[in-house]
Amino acid sequence: MTVEAGTPAPGRVLVVGASAAGLCTVESLRRKGYAGEITVVGDEPHAPYDRPPLSKQVLSGAWEPERAALRTPELLADLKAALVLGDEAVALDPETRTVRTASGRALTADAVVIATGVRARTLPGAEDLAGVHVLRGLDDALALKRELVPGARLVVVGEGVLGSEIAATARTLGLAVTLTGPLAAPMALQVGPLVSGLLGELHREHGVDLRLGTGVTGLTGSGGRVTGVALATGETLPADVVVVAIGAAPATDWLADSGLRLDNGVVCDSRCRAAEGVYAVGDVARFHHEPYGRLVRLENRTNATEQATAVAGALLGEDRPYTPVPYFWTDQFDAKLQVHGLLPADADVEIVEGDPTARRFVARYTSAGAVTGVLGWNMPKQTRLRRQDVVDALPAPAPAPAPAH
């Protein structure tokens, strides 16, 4: 089910999700000369904003919330797209390409782009306790920021990218921070034992208490407010504030009756198409990556932009598979990490530039004799150059038929 070259452009495009991926789809369509009608539906009242700064600049207070906006009101108006904000999509009929919203709207288009992103996972009982937070949206960041008072005891549940970033930001604000999670070191799942071990050292040096390698069994509270985090070891970590950063699930509940294939996201072909005239983009899209020969879902800001450009092209009749080199970055304390490609847990890791003891290096990850990824720690230029090693090692494309729906 690939898009045929020369296919007429849809007269009306409906983008569901006023996210970075949704906005970039609109901008890419306009850049490519599309002059048709575009409508963007978003569940939040805010115009599209950037999420990576939420756990860093916005949370720390270095940025006012308005600075996270992706575009000025004037630039948004120039796109000539109708923004329907604060009205959540609740159903999709792929045959008629009609989206129904919580307020009762029925919006129909010739093509629908699903850009609803992900929703933060939480812990049972968290909704009943004040002081327990997740960090996914702007309102989440502002609510958490109000509670990050110097000297307060913060427990971050989840040692992945987001949890590690929040722990670092809160520590710089003067809170007593504990980071807990089932893995042995911060970001162990994302970067492997060598680099995660160095991140653990960095957090300890800055005063973060690492209680890792154990699961969380629940939360404790008193008077309706959280007081602690119970660990599988039997210990309870005292807390004035808790952040739950245990990952996110694709926001696909509203598509349950759509007939689309939903499996850790909206399943798409290599052109990001889930059904005739229906596409998915950003964190919610799980697409067939031809060089990898399997389905891939990427949760990062760079993918939102690159995939939006690909989807805009597909809507306008371009017939090219989307074959990105995955990329993400993180800033924690004085460490800036960039990752290109994939870093399998069993990969062989070689330092190809710099020195880990100086905390300036580039590591190359190799699996089955092929370079799968590179990671740079405070060496951005050198890391970008080494990205070519990943590109050169990509397997030949393996096309697959589009999923049934």
**pLDDT one-digit tens code per residue, 79-91:** 999 999 999 999 9
Please compute the mean of the pLDDT values over residues 99-115 and round it to a whole number: 98
Which residue bears the tokens 């003891």? 357
* pLDDT tens sequence across 299-342: 999 999 999 999 999 999 999 999 999 999 999 999 999 999 99
Share of the chain above pLDDT 90, in %: 94
Please compute the mean of the pLDDT values over residues 83-101 and round it to a whole number: 98
pLDDT of 196 above 60: yes
Phi, psi of 311 (to 5 degrees): -65, -40
- Could you tell me if 239 and 228 are in contact, meaning their C-beta atoms sit under 8 angstroms apart? yes
Say what the pLDDT of residue 399 is: 66
- Quickly state the pLDDT bin for 400 (edges 50, 70, 90): low
* pLDDT tens sequence across 133-166: 999 999 999 999 999 999 999 999 999 999 999 9
In the predicted model, what is the mean pLDDT of the chain? 95
pLDDT of 58 above 70: yes
**Alpha-carbon gap, residue 135 to 400, rounded angstroms:** 36
- Quickly state the pLDDT bin for 395 (edges 50, 70, 90): confident
pLDDT of 24 above 90: yes
Helix 301-315 with 20-31: angle, nearest 10 deg:
40
One-letter-per-residue 3-state SS of the chain:
CCCCCCCCCCCEEEEECCCHHHHHHHHHHHHCCCCCEEEEECCCCCCCECCHHHHCHHHHCCCCHHHHECCCHHHHHHCCCEEECCCCEEEEECCCCEEEECCCCEEECCEEEECCCEEECCCCCHHHCECEECCCCHHHHHHHHHHCCCCCEEEEECCCHHHHHHHHHHHHCCCEEEEEECCCCCCHHHHHHHHHHHHHHHHHHCCCEEEECCCEEEEEEECCEEEEEEECCCCEEECCEEEECCCEEECCHHHCCCCCCECCCEEECCCCEEECCEEECHHHEEEEECCCCEEECCCCHHHHHHHHHHHHHHHCCCCCCCCCCCEEEEEECCEEEEEEECCCCCCEEEEEEEEHHHCEEEEEEEECCEEEEEEEECCHHHHHHHHHHHHHCCCCCCCCCCCCC
- Quickly state the pLDDT bin for 345 (edges 50, 70, 90): confident
Please compute the mean of the pLDDT values over residues 265-293 and round it to a whole number: 97
User: Amino acid identity, residue 367?
Assistant: S
Please compute the mean of the pLDDT values over residues 196-212 and round it to a whole number: 98
pLDDT of 1 above 60: no
Please compute the mean of the pLDDT values over residues 254-272 and round it to a whole number: 98
Please compute the mean of the pLDDT values over residues 171-196 and round it to a whole number: 97
- Sign of the torsion angle spanned by Cα atoms 10, 15, 16, 21: positive
Say what the pLDDT of residue 401 is: 56
Which tokens is 389 given? 């090693």
pLDDT of 71 above 90: yes
Which tokens is 26 given? 């609109």
